[in-house]
């Protein structure tokens, strides 16, 4: 027995998510996809796969006969559009997994805090950078208190579509808040770089953590490696690029903290390659979002049905 789900957004993220659900999920089935471009490749692919479609957005979605069976809706549109999409869908009693940086519902990174929000009706998948880096901040935080964490997400310019580009401000703000709220850092900052290199480069992420206390380096390494393995359970292309680095810091003034700092800077370098279900390998930033959203939806439905994900 599978649970019917729908997707709002027929762009790269929505289309990749549809294919992932069809190929990988044993508990979910996509029955409808809504977009706003009648000629989009996503809607065309959905029709070929037997999925009901509409190019009239959320209003068209709720008019589809298939919507009557839908239990959960993924929103793969934009932060600006999500508020109304969420209101329309939740007013009709459906769960929402939000892949935009709108942050209406609680932030969720599956390996860190999904268990705390299994009864939420709207969950927010933060951002691609957040899904990649917050687990690393959390891995350090469970060993030593993190005074400040900064992440730099570098993605191929080609993998940043109109929605991603429209949400740059929300990306940095939402990711920084998640670094604090989920990762456990006292202060957080996020930077995104759209790399125009050709051929495109695979997503790279660098995580910096400032730890004031004496650092148990082997414990930090074990924690980071264990977290990487947990993420790899649903994002196969997630990996460390090199060993975790530890450098002493003794600065009279650190602008991000507004004070001096003495301790250790921990540097973690990551690479995220896509699975190639719909998007190219270099688009790991999109792949990690759809993979995390799928894992989250399966757990939410399992909580409500009692059927293991």
169-184 confidence digits (pLDDT tens)? 888 999 999 999 999 9
Tell me the residue range of the domain where 20 lies: 3-125+288-305
pLDDT of residue 230: 98
Q: What's the total number of domains in the chain?
A: 2
Give me the residue label for tokens 């509409």.
54
pLDDT of residue 170: 85
Residue 89 shares a structural domain with residue 47: yes
Where the chain has pLDDT below 70, the residues are none
Is residue 209 among the annotated active site residues?
A: no
Average pLDDT, the chain: 95
Catalytic entry in 128, 139, 272, 283: 128
223 has binding-site annotation:
no
**Domain check: are 259 and 230 in the same one?**
yes
pLDDT tens readout for residues 15-42:
999 999 999 999 999 999 999 999 999 9
pLDDT (0 to 100) of residue 252? 93
- H or E element in which residue 101 lies: none
Closest among 150, 125, 128 to 137, alpha carbons compared: 150
Q: Under a CB-based contact definition with an 8 Å cutoff, are residues 99 and 78 in contact? A: no
Task: Give percent above pLDDT 90 in the chain.
Answer: 90
For residues 139 and 221, membership in a common domain is answered with yes
C-alpha distances (whole Å) from 132 to each of 54, 101, 184 are 32, 15, 15
pTM for this entry = 0.94
Do 247 and 137 share a structural domain?
yes
Contact in structure between 97 and 300 (CB atoms under 8 Å): yes
The pLDDT value recorded for residue 39 is 96
pLDDT at position 54 is 98
DSSP β-bridge partners for residue 251: 261
Q: Would you say 184 is a known binding-site residue?
A: no
Residue 163, annotated ligand binder? Answer: yes
154 and 62 housed in the same domain: no
CATH code where residue 224 lies:
3.30.360.10
Does 221 lie in the same domain as 79?
no
Residue pair 289/271 in contact (Cβ under 8 Å)? The answer is no
Residue 9, marked binder? no
Q: What is the pLDDT of residue 169?
A: 86
């Amino acid at each position: 027995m599978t649970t019917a789900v729908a997707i709002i957004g027929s762009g790269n993220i929505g289309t990749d998510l549809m294919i992932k659900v069809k190929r990988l999920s044993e508990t979910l089935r996509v029955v409808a996809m809504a977009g706003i471009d009648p000629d989009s490749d996503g809607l065309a692919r959905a029709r070929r796969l037997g999925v009901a479609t509409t190019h009239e957005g959320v209003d068209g979605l709720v008019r589809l006969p298939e919507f009557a069976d839908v239990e959960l809706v993924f929103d793969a549109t934009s932060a600006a559009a999500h508020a109304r999409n969420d209101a329309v869908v939740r007013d009709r009693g459906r769960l929402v997994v939000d892949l935009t940086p709108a942050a209406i519902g609680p932030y969720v990174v599956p390996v860190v805090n999904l268990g705390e929000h299994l009864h939420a009706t709207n969950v927010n998948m933060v951002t691609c950078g957040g899904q990649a880096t917050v687990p690393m901040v959390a891995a350090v935080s469970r060993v030593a208190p993190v005074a400040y964490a900064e992440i730099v997400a570098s993605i191929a310019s080609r993998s940043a579509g109109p929605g991603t580009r429209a949400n740059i401000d929300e990306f940095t703000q939402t990711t920084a808040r998640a670094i604090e709220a989920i990762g456990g850092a006292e202060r957080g900052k996020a930077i995104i770089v759209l790399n125009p290199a050709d051929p495109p480069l695979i997503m790279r992420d660098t995580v910096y953590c400032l730890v004031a206390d004496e650092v148990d380096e082997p414990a930090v390494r074990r924690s980071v490696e264990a977290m990487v393995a947990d993420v790899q359970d649903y994002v196969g292309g997630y990996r460390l690029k090199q060993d975790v680095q530890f450098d002493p810091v003794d600065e009279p003034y650190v602008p991000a903290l507004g004070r001096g700092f003495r301790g250790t800077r921990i540097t973690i370098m990551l690479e995220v390659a896509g699975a190639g279900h719909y998007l190219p390998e270099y688009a790991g930033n999109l792949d990690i979002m759809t993979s995390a959203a799928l894992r989250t939806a399966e757990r939410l439905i399992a909580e409500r049905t009692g059927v293991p994900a």
